[in-house]
Amino acid sequence: MTAQRPLIVSSAPAGLAGRVRVPGDKSISHRALMFAALAEGRTHITGLLEGEDVLRTAEAMRALGAKVTRKDTQWVVEGCGVAGLKEPADVLDMGNSGTAARLLSGVLATHPFMSIMTGDASLRSRPMGRVSVPLAETGARFVTRAGQKLPMAVEGTGKGKPLHYRLPVASAQVKSAILLAGLNCEGETVVEEPAPTRDHTENMLRHFGTEVKVEELPEAGRRITLKGPARLVAQDVLVPGDPSSAAFPVVAALLVPGSSIVIEAVGQNPLRTGLFKTLKEMGASLEIRDERIEGGEVIGDLHVRAGRLKGVDVPAIRVPSMIDEYPILAVACAFAEGTSRLRGLAELRVKESDRLASTVALLEANGAKVQVEGDDVIIEGQARLPGGGHVQTHMDHRLAMSATVLGLAAEKPVHIDDTAFIETSFPGFVALMNHLGAGLTA
């Protein structure tokens, strides 16, 4: 078990400044390892996020028969082919990663062997039914703890039934799990989503040589069709900087007076950049320069300068494009001029913690004016936030980083109970922020 790392964050002594590069995109890193393991041949991955979550995925793919090694700055994966994974000799421990557990469920569902997945205390408290229930229709059998929670045993099928499934709630994880299961099924797998979600799985399927059909639906959603069984062929992957990680130094630079920073090579997939769009609506000085395409994904350099923000009304339809960024957006809104309303945040209740309740508690503990109406959060912005609160992170890395940013801009120091889990998604976070001038001490 990782030891706790409390942190006391005081206002930044001066404006943040400098050029940095955030770790590789976590969503793409998980997928790169899984797709490389399912491909025929050798894949080289550059820029892989080397946080604990992704390292758990690497270890799981090794346990399933792929050869995964790190050589200098690259990761090399010798794939087994779509139907070639082997039964693991031990339990697959996915640590803190819901993405890894849910996507891997799709892979395991259509391989003819038994496997068991578990995770840390946080992951074991999160529901798996949203993937296990539809995936059971392939012919796989899932056995979970009460409440459809990990540990979970998966008895996979070698002749899976292709699914035609409409997501009740937009979720890239559930969509991806079903598509991954469909790789090893005979016939068309179809997923309909009520609103567009991040499409890294579709992009990577194409990158590895598999045809995926995407259709826009009249009611604003999408239909994704994959014909199986599919064949994946090894392709090198360059992982862009994670926009969800870039969110924290971006908001810090916007809130700390006198700041001016550049974050290089950040992913600009339009289904991942809802936060940047929202911050611009709030009046943020945020420019994206030198856009280019690497490995099928758009990247660009973010130029950020401090300035006054104004309140914003964020529609629920934007949730899928910024699901992980609401805690840090809430911090930005707490310092903005006027009222902000963040709509339709039910999905935050089933993240690493009840992220909606935890975000509200973070703000209230530091003097922000916030209330919840149904699944909406309403924040009355203040030019100066008192701070001085004690924040419980509930093993949630994004909450810990959001509390850190709040502390840099608040009047009094903010006490954070644990920052150890930051390493799961953003290794080197404290060092990067200090390079910009934050002055954090873990």
Q: Is 145 annotated as a binding residue?
A: no
The answer to whether 330 touches 336, Cβ cutoff 8 Å, is no
Q: Is 353 annotated as a binding residue?
A: no
The answer to whether 226 touches 35, Cβ cutoff 8 Å, is no
Which of 25, 53, 242, 324 is flagged as catalytic? Answer: 324
Q: Is 412 annotated as a binding residue?
A: no
Q: Is 235 annotated as a binding residue?
A: no
Buried b (16+ CB within 10 A) or exposed e, 164-194: ebebeebbbbbbbbbbbbbbbbeeebbbbbb
Q: Is 27 annotated as a binding residue?
A: yes
Segment (H or E) for 407: helix 397-409
Q: Is 126 annotated as a binding residue?
A: yes
* Cα–Cα distance for residue pair 334/384, rounded to 1 Å: 9
* Cα–Cα distance for residue pair 196/321, rounded to 1 Å: 8
Q: Is 31 annotated as a binding residue?
A: yes
Active-site residue, 376 included: no
Q: Is 98 annotated as a binding residue?
A: yes
* Cα–Cα distance for residue pair 159/181, rounded to 1 Å: 11
Residues paired with residue 376 on neighbouring β-strands, in sequence order: 373
Q: Is 437 annotated as a binding residue?
A: no
Q: Is 62 annotated as a binding residue?
A: no
E strand map for 2-140: 7-9, 17-20, 42-46, 67-71, 74-78, 92-93, 114-118
Q: Is 171 annotated as a binding residue?
A: yes
Write the secondary structure of 161-221 as one string of H (helix), E (strand) and C (coil).
CCCEEECCCCCHHHHHHHHHHHCCECEEEEEEECCCCCCHHHHHHHHCCCCEEEEECCCCC
Residue positions forming the annotated binding site: 26-27, 31, 98, 126, 171, 173, 324, 351, 355, 398
Which residue positions form the known binding site for phosphoenolpyruvate? 26, 98, 126, 173, 355, 398
Residue ranges of the binding site for 3-phosphoshikimate: 26-27, 31, 171, 173, 324, 351
Active site residues: 324
